[in-house]
């Protein structure tokens, strides 16, 4: 056996040893990453797990001296009582309807305004966009009083329209979609215009199919924002028939305290629509968030 053959064999052996070592290091890193992600996921989901188990406990054991997940008995009747004590089914319907319509209106407004700020040329466009984005710094508490006066003057107080319209015209969706519009080459629109397509047809047939991920993200964020809103419905709604889920949850608190077992049961029922929406749009949400993390590229 020549020296070159021996050297080649040693090199191959060394490479195999290094490859096995790298594979072990990679496996350890994957395992540690999985463990860390599992711990973080458990931390974030723990309040929801506790809520579900608390919904199944007797009322007297919610704040027991020795905390435990499972009570002395499993009371499925808490869900029935929470559903029947107040018209909670109506509250879920109201919340779901307002959230769906509000999300749709928010997406339409954001698409049109983002397209205008990204593609149309008009005087003071960038300054107006900056002014529009600056409205994001205004907290909801500052807006509710003038919005209430406006809705009351229009005769829209205590209506679905008052719950849906005011907060559909926000700058968040416009800012988000404008960034994605700017990443789409203008040549696509020019080709469509050459073929005789109008601006609306170009927007609908050429641009929007490329924005399914950010549109899904905006729709889900808008849905959750409407569904969880408490302050504005509390101010603008007087009728119980129009109350949304957060208002319904507050009805389990009375002069004699809070019925925590029923509150937890009602809260568990209330999160089901949001879970369904997120599960259905999970792939688009992940894609949209990933793209957004890279500035739409």
Residue 85, pLDDT score:
85
Mean pLDDT over 257-276 rounds to 84
Residue extents of the structural domains in the chain: 3-55, 87-293
Q: Dig out the tokens for 86 from the structure.
A: 């107040």
pTM of the model: 0.80
CATH topology of domain 87-293: MetI-like fold (1.10.3720)
Residue 100, pLDDT score:
92
Which residues contact residue 202 at a Cβ distance below 8 angstroms, ignoring those fewer than 6 apart?
189, 192, 193
What is the average pLDDT value for the chain, to the nearest integer?
83
Residue 288, pLDDT score:
64
- Confidence band of 65 (pLDDT split at 50, 70, 90): low
- Confidence band of 54 (pLDDT split at 50, 70, 90): confident
**Is residue 239 classed exposed, middle or buried when 0-12, 13-18 and 19+ CB atoms within 10 A define those classes?**
exposed
- Is the pLDDT assigned to residue 166 strictly greater than 50? yes
Query: In which residue are the tokens 């997120």 written?
Result: 278
3-state helix, strand, coil in the chain (%, to 5): 80, 0, 20
Residue 10, pLDDT score:
55
Residue 295, pLDDT score:
44
pLDDT digits (tens, 9 = 90+) for 95-121: 999 999 999 999 999 999 998 898 888
Mean pLDDT over 5-31 rounds to 69
Residue 91, pLDDT score:
92
Q: Which of 160-164, 255-259, 267-271 is predicted most confidently? A: 160-164
Q: Dig out the tokens for 213 from the structure.
A: 């991920």
What is the phi-psi region of residue 266: left when phi exceeds 0, alpha when psi lies from -120 to 50, beta otherwise?
alpha
């Amino acid at each position: 056996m020549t020296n070159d053959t021996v050297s080649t064999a040693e090199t191959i052996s060394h490479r195999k040893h290094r490859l096995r070592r790298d594979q072990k290091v990679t496996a350890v890193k994957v395992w540690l990453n999985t463990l860390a992600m599992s711990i973080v996921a458990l931390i974030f989901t723990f309040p929801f797990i506790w809520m579900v188990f608390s919904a199944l406990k007797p009322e007297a054991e919610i704040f027991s001296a020795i905390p435990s997940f499972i009570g002395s008995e499993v009371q499925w009747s808490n869900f029935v009582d929470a559903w029947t004590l107040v018209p909670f089914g109506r509250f879920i319907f109201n919340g779901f309807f307002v959230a769906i319509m509000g999300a749709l209106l928010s997406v339409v407004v954001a698409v049109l305004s983002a397209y205008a700020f990204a593609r149309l040329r008009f005087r003071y466009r960038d300054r107006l966009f900056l002014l529009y984005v600056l409205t994001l710094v205004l907290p909801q508490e500052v807006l509710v009083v003038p919005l209430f006066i406006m809705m009351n003057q229009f005769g829209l107080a205590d209506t679905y329209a008052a719950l849906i319209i005011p907060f559909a015209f926000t700058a968040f969706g416009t800012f988000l979609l404008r960034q994605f519009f700017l990443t789409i080459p203008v040549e696509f629109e020019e080709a469509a215009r050459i073929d005789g397509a109008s601006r609306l047809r170009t927007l609908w047939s050429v641009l929007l199919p490329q924005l399914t991920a950010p549109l899904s993200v905006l729709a889900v964020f808008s849905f959750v924002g409407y569904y969880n809103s408490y302050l504005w419905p509390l101010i603008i709604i007087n009728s119980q028939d129009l109350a949304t889920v957060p208002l319904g949850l507050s009805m389990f608190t009375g002069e004699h305290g809070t019925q925590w077992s029923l509150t937890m049961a009602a809260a568990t029922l209330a999160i089901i629509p949001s879970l369904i929406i997120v599960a259905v749009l999970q792939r688009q949400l992940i894609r949209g968030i990933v793209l957004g993390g890279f500035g739409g590229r």
